[in-house]
Amino acid sequence: MDPSNAFYAPGREKYVQALVHRPFTRDQLLTFPEKLLHAVVAAILLVPCSLVTIVFVALRMLVRKLKGLPIYAGFHDTMMTLSEEKHHETLKIRVSSTARFIGTLRFGTWLSGMAHDHLAVHFLTADTFLLGGVLSLVRAANFSRLPRRTIGPFAYVANRTQICDAVVENSSFDQIVILGAGFDSRAYRLKNPASRVFFEVDISGTQEEKIRIVEANKASFQGNVVFCQVDFTCDNFIERLQANGLDLSRKAVFIIEGLTYYLERPVVEKLFKDVSRAAKGSLLVVDYFEDVWSDEEAQRVASERKGGPVLARVLRRAGEPIKFGFKHNESPAVFEKLGYKLLFNAGQRELSRLYLTRVQSGKVEDVVPEVGHVCIYEVA
């Protein structure tokens, strides 16, 4: 199976197509005047915003040098000097760097019309607000001529947000479980039935920060959410969820978005096995990278057009390196052994055809590199 071509389960095509359908985003409906306005705004603001960012980073590096610290250590200064065990304990009490960064990208995709997460702005800090604004302006001004390695992660976040949104909105299930929720806002911004309950699962540091922000902005965050703090490396998240009200005898949607790559393979496989305990007919939406992303030597020799070495290096410096990836075409067999049935599988390019390419010029292959894949599985 070629992951760059979308797979729909034979005999279930109409059901799956209805499941992944999403109304066109503003990106797909931009008129020429709107595109021209974006380009003008970008031209006016991009240079000064970029200069401010460069000056900020330069000053930070100077301060670190004067203090005798490594000049660059990613988003969190201490991460590069911590042992693996100490880093793991620290991760549980701090806000995840990648959760912050993905929130920034979601803000940028909303500003530029690629996705619908208007609540992402509430989770930004001053520097991530600036970064998200710059990214959105660059994207809106001239998407098709950006370097492929720049487009990859930006478009991938928009695509996976779109497909997860679609499954939640188009399913009739009243239990939605989001594993590694970060600053997810689906419980608050989507049109959810009154009976629907969202279970958000994450490490304590990130979730406590999210709860604080939600409590401070109650007018914007109206939803039925159960928070559950879990360390996937050692806790049984299914038991925690059951203790917090999840009914495994009723169908549910499980979303594992932007999580698998940061966990070791045994932890990921246990995650999938535990979800398979859900009621027959439950859905699992999961995204993953191929193993080239988690192998340092493969990253070194991989083509820049693939985008892997760039993103992997950034995440490693952020203290949350990529640890897991499936081998090419491996994932269906892994899930089949656990009792799942594959309904849908698409790579970055096919997702872009579904959600982002209505007004793009040229071939998708020339614009969007493969970054990761998104699958929908059904508990058989």
CATH number at residue 308: 3.40.50.150
Q: What pLDDT sits at residue 253?
A: 98
* DSSP state string for 80-138: GGS-HHHHHHHHHHS--HHHHHHHHHHHHHHHTTS---GGGGGG--HHHHHHHHHHHHH
Q: What pLDDT sits at residue 135?
A: 60
DSSP summary character for residue 279: P
Task: Please give the residue range of the domain that contains residue 295.
Answer: 7-379
Residue pair 148/363 in contact by the 8 Å Cβ criterion: no
Length of the chain counted residue by residue: 380
Whether 2 is in a domain gets the answer no
Residue pair 260/270 in contact by the 8 Å Cβ criterion: no
User: Tokens 């019309």 sit at which residue?
Assistant: 113
Q: What pLDDT sits at residue 227?
A: 97
**Measured distance CA(108)–CA(118) in Å, rounded:** 10
Q: What pLDDT sits at residue 374?
A: 93
The 3 state secondary structure assigned to 204-216 is HHHHHHHHHHHHH
**Measured distance CA(19)–CA(281) in Å, rounded:** 13
Whether 337 is in a domain gets the answer yes
Can you read off the two tokens belonging to residue 58? 């330069």
Shortest CA distance to 169 belongs to which of 144, 189, 183? Answer: 189
CA distance readout (Å), 244 to 7, 93, 248, 258, 276: 35, 22, 12, 23, 19
Q: What pLDDT sits at residue 14?
A: 93
Whether 306 is in a domain gets the answer yes
Can you read off the two tokens belonging to residue 70? 């490594």
Q: Is residue 233 packed enough to be buried (19+ CB in 10 Å), middle (13-18) or exposed (0-12)? A: middle
Whether 156 is in a domain gets the answer yes
Task: Look at the chain and report how many structural domains it folds into.
Answer: 1
In terms of phi and psi (left: phi > 0; alpha: psi -120 to 50; beta: otherwise), the region of 96 is beta
Whether 1 is in a domain gets the answer no
pLDDT tens per residue across all 380 residues of the chain: 444 478 899 999 999 999 999 875 544 444 556 556 655 665 666 566 667 767 776 777 787 678 776 554 443 333 333 334 444 444 455 788 788 878 877 877 777 667 778 888 888 775 565 555 556 555 544 444 444 444 566 778 888 999 999 999 999 999 999 999 999 999 999 989 999 999 999 998 899 999 999 999 988 899 999 999 999 988 899 999 999 999 999 999 999 999 998 899 999 999 999 999 999 999 999 999 877 655 554 445 444 444 445 566 666 666 677 788 888 788 889 999 999 999 999 988 788 878 875 434 445 555 555 668 899 999 99
Q: What pLDDT sits at residue 287?
A: 94
